[in-house]
Amino acid sequence: MPGTATAFAHRSADLLVTTISAGPAAAVEAARPAIGALWARLAPHVTGAYANFLDSATPRDVGAIYPRDTYDRLAAVKERVDPLNVFRRNHNVPPGASR
């Protein structure tokens, strides 16, 4: 099927939900509990993530970006080309990791 080798072949959602908080640090921190509460209410109804929209890059967050097969394939590539995980200052898939 055309397009299945792309980074986004697994995405089929009709809707993207995102939040943003911007401004002085105190205002952003003040908004954090309300935004967290909103996402906690949405969590049972949504799946997946988009790397550029994440506010953190925990292993769980990064795991939500990719389907299991894609994540495992990326980890295998990383094991081959960057086994020391030099390039890790991003939404990192560690070398040889599996979800």
Provide the residue ranges of all domains of the chain, joining segments of one domain with +: 18-47, 48-99
Length of the chain: 99
Amino acid at 43: A
pLDDT of 13 > 80? The answer is: no
Categorize the per-residue pLDDT at 72 as very low, low, confident or very high, splitting at 50, 70 and 90.
very high
The region of weakest confidence among 18-27, 35-44, 49-58 is 49-58
As a whole number, mean pLDDT of residues 4-22 equals: 76
**CB atoms < 10 A from the CB of 85, how many?**
14
pTM score, whole prediction:
0.66
Measured CA to CA, the distance from residue 1 to residue 33 in angstroms comes to 43
